[in-house]
Amino acid sequence: MGLGILTGRRTASGYRPSLMHRMLKPRISGNTINGLGEERRRRATPIYHWAELRFPHKRIWRLFLLLELRSREMIRQVREAVRQRDKPLLPVSAVRVEDQPVNWAARAKQFALDNEADLVGITRLDPAWVFEPFSLPEPWVIVLGVRMDYELLSTAPEAPAGIEVLRQYNRGHRAATKLANWIRSQGWNARGFGVPFATPLVMIPAAIAAGLGELGKHGSLINRELGASFRLAYVLTDLPLVADRPDHFGVDEFCTNCRLCSAQCPPDAIYESKQMVRGDLKWYVDFDKCVPYFNDTYGCGICLAVCPWSRPGVAASLAEKMTRKLKRFAAPDRQD
């Protein structure tokens, strides 16, 4: 392991990926697949975690699974994820319950919060969020967030942090399945999705539209209460609902002037400025630099752990401070 065969090494010039990773990586760059530098809008292409699809980085993804076997608890969590994924949903009730969309939205949110979710938001499904070549017929997305234990997350890039991420992904999947089954019991169609396995929807844009937060420089969502210390799951449904609004509270402005995550990233994968990606100018993490270290270290997580928003008790006060700052700058000049 110390020779850099299965896992990479830190050198004087920076992190060097393992020999195995260098041998297995495809000719095409992951950044190219992701659309880095593309000015034309298009849907995202599957690139990682897709057990059921063929994709250029599949051999590297299998290396990631192999390296996960170093931890028995990680194996247990992966097995739990497989069990959750393969668990059948309840049949849709033949008796359809009718109610107003605003009432359904409130009831669905309350059910989710009572059944393992910590955050809930609702948005209409935008086809632009759906991975090629999938097509999703449901018009609504209910996005769920589940809190991570910050003390465990702060051990990143060690195994306890990676295990906690998987544990919360599994909780998110359970919450999504419970909500989907409840909706189905009301006579409406619903499907629950969670990770670590890939899903047909790009979750972060949906979560932003549903009001769960803003995109941070580290490429993950930042919520005004939980910071970046949470994971996502979602439910697709035809239940008539009411959409939430995006929540803007100054993350963009904060990240522009903060360098903690980019400075602490061992493979130097976090861009200091926004990049054009499939027609959108946004924060972006270099896929080709991130993945080798991600594979080596149980999914890393350093960027989430060092993010100032993630520290317990910080996000709410920081959001309030940044919101006041935004309002101050947005206020029209006074006329004397």
Contact predicate 114/209, CB 8 Å: no
For 24, the token pair is 């297995």
Say what the pTM is: 0.95
Q: How many CB atoms lie within 10 A of CB 94?
A: 6
Helix (DSSP H) and strand (DSSP E) numbers for the chain: 13, 10
Residue 38 domain flag: yes
Predicted pLDDT of residue 327 = 86
Residue 88 lies in a domain: yes
Phi, psi of 303, rounded to the nearest 5 degrees: -60, -35
Please answer whether residues 87 and 203 qualify as being in contact, where contact means their C-beta atoms are separated by less than 8 angstroms: no
Q: So what's the pLDDT on residue 196?
A: 84
pLDDT tens digits, one per residue of 33-43: 999 999 999 99
Report the SS3 class of residue 295.
helix
Report yes or no on 6 lying in a domain: no
Listed residue (113, 239, 135) closest to 184, CA to CA: 239
Asked if residue 55 belongs to a domain, the reply is: yes
Q: Does any domain span residue 3?
A: no
The encoded tokens of residue 333 equal 């000049």
**Confidence label for 335 from pLDDT (cuts 50, 70 and 90):** very low
Residue numbers of the domain that contains 147: 18-329
- Residue 328: its pLDDT value, please? 85
d(CA 89, CA 86): 9
Judged against a pLDDT cut of 70, whether residue 76 lies above it is answered with yes
Average pLDDT over all residues of the chain: 95
Number of domains in the chain: 1
pLDDT digits (tens, 9 = 90+) for 129-149: 999 999 999 999 999 999 999
Distance CA 236, CA 183 (A): 10
The single residue listed with the structure tokens 């295990």 is 163
CB 112 within 8 A of CB 175: yes
- The pLDDT tens digits of the residues spanning 46-59 come to 999 888 889 999 99
User: Is residue 147 in a domain?
Assistant: yes
Percent with pLDDT over 70 in the chain:
97
Q: What is the residue whose two structure tokens read 């938001």?
A: 121
Q: Is residue 70 part of a domain?
A: yes
Instruction: State how far the alpha carbon of 29 is from the alpha carbons of 56, 152, 202, in Å.
Output: 9, 32, 20
Residue 288's contacts (CB-CB under 8 Å, 6 or more residues apart) are 25, 29, 30, 31
- pLDDT at residue 331 tops 80: no
Compute the average pLDDT of residues 11-30.
94
DSSP state of 147: E
Pick from 323, 322, 270: which is nearest to 293 by CA?
Answer: 270
pLDDT in tens, 197-236: 899 999 999 999 999 999 999 999 999 999 999 999 999 9
Determine the pLDDT at residue 197: 83
